Amino acid sequence: MIRTHVLVCGGTGCTSSGSVAIREALVKEIAAKGIADEVKVVGTGCFGLCALGPIMIVYPDGTFYSMVKIEDVPEIVEEHLLKGRVVERLEYYDAKTEALIKEGKQVGLKDTNFYSKQKRVVLRNCGLINPEVIEEYIARDGYKALGKVLTEMTPETVVDTMLKSGLRGRGGAGFPTGRKWMFAAQQPAGKKYVCCNADEGDPGAFMDRSVLEGDPHAVLEAMAIAGYAIGSDQGYIYVRAEYPIAIHRLEIAIKQAREYGFLGKNIFGTDFNFDIQLRLGAGAFVCGEETALMTSIEGKRGEPRPRPPFPAVKGLFGRPTILNNVETLANVAQIILNGPEWFTAMGTEKSPGTKVFALGGKIVNTGLVEVPMGTTLREVVEEIGGGIPNGKKFKAAQTGGPSGGCLPASLIDTPIDFDSLIAAGSMMGSGGLIVMDETTCMVDIARFFLDFTVDESCGKCTPCRIGTRRLLEILDKIIAGEGTLEDIDKLEELCTFIKSASLCALGQTAPNPVLSTLRFFRDEYIAHVVDKKCPAGVCKNLMRYHINPDLCKGCSACSRVCPVGAISGEIKSPFTIDTTKCIKCGACMEKCRFNAIEKI
């Protein structure tokens, strides 16, 4: 006789801010009040608004509580669950829902700007079901697509449906999923493999993790469908060991699916057999590359190899293999159930469907959003993302992580889809979207990503191993204020070589952050090498702190906070900074109440 469900996020973000303890406290408190058989506490996957965690939602009204603390639990139980008084101080609201609340309307999650603009296909079950209970997935039409495929469709019609849907790989490259399946299906019968790429490595991207944590069965079901389509009986999920919650939920999901017979022998009474095993990666970025990933599953060092032969012909253990990304697979069952026309009705002509983005950087709503392809960058940043905090101006957005590039403010109305991003010199990548404001230095950003690729280069081919290191050295030189105009030319030339000569996508795309910042923010590079200035005031060697004598009241607050004793002066007359001693930590600037300290 359950009348209320209390959903508590159990994704990685909320777990790290203490949601597990909150869930336990909630269960205890509910029992203490004697309402345990009326109120059910459910641990779910990610709701998306990770910056506001721990998140709690109370149904049937859908009341949305954010940043809940363990001390808030008794009040929530006593006031809300027992008496129906919403604990207003914990309610999340934005400008839109605030207006609705003023009109006396009850608002829920779906009314907020953050959610109302989203279209949830991949994330349809995330934050709604308990990922550790297979029945909740089944209640949401889970495994119906697998049943339909096995009992009513031939492998050819399954491949055909995927071709018609136009689904493109969400891992980054955007290769049509149906064609991948078709190539593998066309190979002579024999051992074939279905692999799932859950080796999400882009800094700031966590959409695959959230799907695995929030809706693991969607991935298992899709892999079984793929197995039937290409004639495979064995699947592998390659997931990084750094995702312990995702691994735990996958293990539970695989066990439950076997118990129900969705995995194993003679699935749905047919002669189709399929099973899935997990393979844990150690977190090397290169293992997200398909050939390196499969080499790693084979138990060897994760290094890429030249293609062709493509994996569809000769992949894992030398057998035909398909490799699909987690987010790609999460679309499959929905396409089978709703038809390819339903899918192509969303998004753009060449990029149908939706895309999940991990919004990060200088943005109000940090978290996970799913929007139809073709949504403009402006809508994502300003409406769903809530804009830039502290009244700062939007400068650029980095898409595609270390393999992608940036979109400057002039391109903020670009529709986000595979082809528009490539035309703008960036790429979709796995969907990391890092927003930058005017205080971000673009040379520094390029350096940040390059530092990452230098670290993650596997070292097999020379252009990537040595080329990226040389790139990083030139960038370091520019940031140190020792660069020349020739260095900028050298950067560009080297980028072209690395792009064309590297063995795999890691090296081929590594120069992208440099090339795209050069394309849109060349003036910043020139300011660094010619004027020896960092316009954003980030590069320490190119800026210094200065006390404006007209504003300084001589209060000595700055000199007291300076860790190296670089500031001196007499009380009530302007202080000065000894730039030879200053380490540019910025502590004085934060302390000054008169805005007398400036970066120049």
Which positions touch other proteins (CB under 8 A)? 1-5, 7, 38, 59-62, 79, 82-85, 108, 110, 128-129, 133, 135-136, 138-144, 147-148, 151, 260-262, 267-269
Q: Which is nearer to other proteins, 253 or 491 (CB)?
A: 253
The rounded distance, in Å, linking the Cα atoms of 551 and 595 is 7
399 Rama class: left (phi>0) / alpha (psi -120 to 50) / beta: beta
In Å, what is the CA distance from 325 to each residue of 186, 209, 239, 336, 560?
Answer: 21, 11, 11, 18, 54
DSSP string, 191-256: --EEEEEE---STT--HHHHHHHH-HHHHHHHHHHHHHHHT--EEEEEEETT-HHHHHHHHHHHHH
Nearest in space to 172 (alpha carbons), one of 323, 280, 335: 323
Question: Could you tell me the smallest distance in angstroms from the CB atom of residue 448 to other proteins?
Answer: 40
Q: Which is nearer to other proteins, 22 or 42 (CB)?
A: 42
Question: Could you tell me the smallest distance in angstroms from the CB atom of residue 97 to other proteins?
Answer: 16
Per the listing, tokens 């979109």 go with 407
Instruction: Say if residues 386 and 435 touch (Cβ distance below 8 Å).
Output: no
Question: Could you tell me the smallest distance in angstroms from the CB atom of residue 153 to other proteins?
Answer: 12
Q: Which is nearer to other proteins, 7 or 211 (CB)?
A: 7
Q: Which is nearer to other proteins, 271 or 493 (CB)?
A: 271
Question: Could you tell me the smallest distance in angstroms from the CB atom of residue 115 to other proteins?
Answer: 12
In the structure encoding, which two tokens stand for residue 183, read together?
């190539």
Which residues are within 8 A (CB) of 154 and not within 5 positions of it... i.e. 6 or more apart? none
Question: Could you tell me the smallest distance in angstroms from the CB atom of residue 281 to other proteins?
Answer: 32
168's enclosing H/E stretch is none
Per the listing, tokens 């927003």 go with 435
Cα dihedral sign, 238-239-241-245: negative
Instruction: Say if residues 262 and 235 touch (Cβ distance below 8 Å).
Output: no
Q: Which is nearer to other proteins, 142 or 429 (CB)?
A: 142
Question: Could you tell me the smallest distance in angstroms from the CB atom of residue 216 to other proteins?
Answer: 16
Question: Could you tell me the smallest distance in angstroms from the CB atom of residue 1 to other proteins?
Answer: 5
Question: Could you tell me the smallest distance in angstroms from the CB atom of residue 85 to other proteins?
Answer: 4
The rounded distance, in Å, linking the Cα atoms of 373 and 375 is 6
Question: Could you tell me the smallest distance in angstroms from the CB atom of residue 202 to other proteins?
Answer: 31
Nearest in space to 543 (alpha carbons), one of 500, 589, 491, 575: 589
Q: Which is nearer to other proteins, 136 or 444 (CB)?
A: 136
Which residues are within 8 A (CB) of 318 and not within 5 positions of it... i.e. 6 or more apart? none
Q: Which is nearer to other proteins, 141 or 438 (CB)?
A: 141
Q: Which is nearer to other proteins, 59 or 93 (CB)?
A: 59
Nearest in space to 23 (alpha carbons), one of 76, 63, 59, 89: 76
- State yes or no: cis peptide before 155, omega within 30 of 0: no
* Radius of gyration for the alpha carbons in the chain, expressed in angstroms and rounded: 27
The rounded distance, in Å, linking the Cα atoms of 251 and 541 is 50
Question: Could you tell me the smallest distance in angstroms from the CB atom of residue 96 to other proteins?
Answer: 18
| Residue 340 three-state SS | helix
Pairing type for strands 234-240 and 367-372 reads unpaired
Q: Which is nearer to other proteins, 70 or 101 (CB)?
A: 101
Indicate the DSSP class of residue 432: E
Which residues are within 8 A (CB) of 257 and not within 5 positions of it... i.e. 6 or more apart? 134, 143, 217, 220, 263
Question: Could you tell me the smallest distance in angstroms from the CB atom of residue 66 to other proteins?
Answer: 18
The rounded distance, in Å, linking the Cα atoms of 151 and 145 is 10
Q: Which is nearer to other proteins, 268 or 594 (CB)?
A: 268
Question: Could you tell me the smallest distance in angstroms from the CB atom of residue 351 to other proteins?
Answer: 28
Q: Which is nearer to other proteins, 5 or 392 (CB)?
A: 5
The rounded distance, in Å, linking the Cα atoms of 234 and 276 is 6
Q: Which is nearer to other proteins, 42 or 446 (CB)?
A: 42
Question: Could you tell me the smallest distance in angstroms from the CB atom of residue 209 to other proteins?
Answer: 22
Question: Could you tell me the smallest distance in angstroms from the CB atom of residue 356 to other proteins?
Answer: 20
- State yes or no: cis peptide before 309, omega within 30 of 0: yes
Q: Which is nearer to other proteins, 3 or 572 (CB)?
A: 3
**496-500 long-range Cβ contacts below 8 angstroms, 24+ apart:** 497/463, 497/467, 498/463, 498/464, 498/467, 498/468, 498/471
Q: Which is nearer to other proteins, 128 or 196 (CB)?
A: 128
Question: Could you tell me the smallest distance in angstroms from the CB atom of residue 221 to other proteins?
Answer: 12
Q: Which is nearer to other proteins, 7 or 286 (CB)?
A: 7
